[in-house]
Amino acid sequence: MLKGSILKRLDAAHRQDSIPLNLGVYYKNTLVALCHALEDFILESDSKPLMVTAFQRGKWYLQEAERYGELASKSGQIAILASPDAGFATHPTSQKDNVALVSLPPDDPVAQEWHLIIFSSTYTAMVLCQELSSEDYGMDGQPQEDLERKFYGFWTFEPELVKETVKLAIDHISKYDLNLAKTLSVQVEQISAEFGSQPKDDLTAVVYKVVSYLQEEEEHLHQPEKEDNFAWLQALEDNLASNKIQAFLRIAQLLDYADLSNPLAATEVAAMVEAMGQILDLPSWQIKRLRLAGLLHRLASLNTVLDKEESKSPAQKQALEHQEYLPQASVLRVMPQLKAIAKIITHQTEAWDGSGIPSSLAYDAIPLESRIIRLVADFQKQVNQYKQQKSLDNAFMQALSDCQNKAGTIYDPKLVDSLTLMVIGMQQGMTIKAYPPKIATGMWLLDSELGGENTTTST
């Protein structure tokens, strides 16, 4: 990372965190799709965000200037950082009162970065990246094909991280335009003061838009003139797919952060279902699938946005056309690789005796992974609640007792036996490490078996 760059400064501030930044490598087409999706949601938001963007060079801004004219009408202020090119400052969008241009000299490290920072009281999002250097590309050097360009960084919806980053960007702007920096700082404080005063925007819709744009970008790759370079095409496809997974993991992470009483639910459930899978001697691909379902199990509470027919891409329509109706977790169904995960999460509220929802499935008709998620998620929640009742000596044993009392009605009795073995092991010193996922390196989640239909239904 370049010294003095915004990404470097943010990374340095979080290097010692227990949960460091999830940094990864992104191809240019992936970033274009991500940015367009995050930007376009501004048009659907009721708030007027502050936007700070870094385009590297003015010519990249010119390609987006018409879009930014529309975005300016829905934004409070837009600040654009870039090295100047001919025509950069004369485009009509640049003349709008709420659009400010900051010209960067070529030796400014931010001139090598690609940033999109959106900060409002109801919607926060950002992409923070810088292009790889010639040394990073290796012996082949920087690519000639524009779509082969790579960038290092991350993207997120996390409000506090976005706020911290926009302040770093404003500090950088102050070197060139002190009055603009002061204006932006005032807006940040005003927006911060409004946090919580109105409902947050529906991030389910944002995630759907991100996945939709990435999926459409993937369709554009499959053109005859591009398919002669298979290795390059596969790398681009993998990068797009990885970011679709990231979209779901990031919103699941936000759901955890929002639950102040149980902020590690998804991470702990994922760790425990992985341990349960090992106790049950499940194959490695199924344990991977269990872990991903554990990380995403809270998405079942989200309202679906899939009923908006006009917002579906052709690929999504085809992917959904022959699938059974899933009343929950349907936001996952837009991605074919997550079809099995969506099914697992949908049926995690079924009960062993058939009294559950949504389909009143019973016994072995309930997918095995769904039964495991139900048991472990309930157990984790109970443990957390008992830990908050400091009068109890052993939260794990009390939560286990609660689960044992419901064996044969709510829970699969054999799985309760396995949970008992796991808890006894933990009492005797066995460690189950709940580590957060490396969101920016999610391709391990996408092998062919993981997303398949062969969900095991017996123990």
The CATH code of the domain that includes 336 is: 1.10.3210.10
pLDDT computed for residue 335 by the predictor = 66
Range of the domain at 339: 247-446
Mean pLDDT computed over every residue of the chain: 81
Which string of b and e fits 410-437 if b means at least 16 CB within 10 Å?
bbbeebbebbeebbeeeeeeeeeebebb
Same domain? 143 vs 257: no
33 inside domain:
yes
Q: Are the C-beta atoms of residues 212 and 316 closer than 8 Å to each other?
A: yes
Single residue among 140, 165, 200 that ends a domain in this structure: 200
**Domain check: are 294 and 423 in the same one?**
yes
Omega before 358 cis (within 30°)? yes
Count the alpha carbons within 13 Å of 138 in the hemisphere toward its beta carbon: 3
Where residue 122 sits, what CATH number does that domain have? Answer: 3.30.870.10
> Which run of H or E residues covers position 31?
helix 28-40
Q: Please check whether residues 270 and 338 belong to one and the same domain.
A: yes
CA 225 vs CA 218, 220, 315: distances in Å: 15, 11, 20
For the chain, the domain total comes to 2
Q: Which residue has the higher pLDDT, 47 or 147?
A: 47
pLDDT per residue as tens digits for the range 144-202: 666 677 888 888 888 899 999 999 999 999 999 999 999 999 999 999 999 877 778 77
* pLDDT tens digits for range 318-370: 433 433 333 344 556 656 667 888 889 889 999 999 999 888 999 999 999 99
Round to whole Å and give the CA distance between 100 and 184.
11
- For tokens 């490695």, the residue is 284
* Region of 87 on the Ramachandran plot (φ > 0 left; ψ -120 to 50 alpha; else beta): left
Q: How does pLDDT run across 229-286, given as a tens digit for each residue? A: 666 677 777 777 777 777 788 778 777 877 778 888 999 999 999 999 999 999 999 9
Pair 187, 252 in one domain: no
Sign (positive or negative) of CA dihedral 317, 319, 324, 327: negative
Query: pTM of the prediction?
Result: 0.74
Q: Is residue 439, in this structure, part of any structural domain at all?
A: yes
CA–CA dist 28, 2 (Å, integer) = 19
Task: With respect to residue 172, please indicate whether it lies within any of the assigned structural domains.
Answer: yes
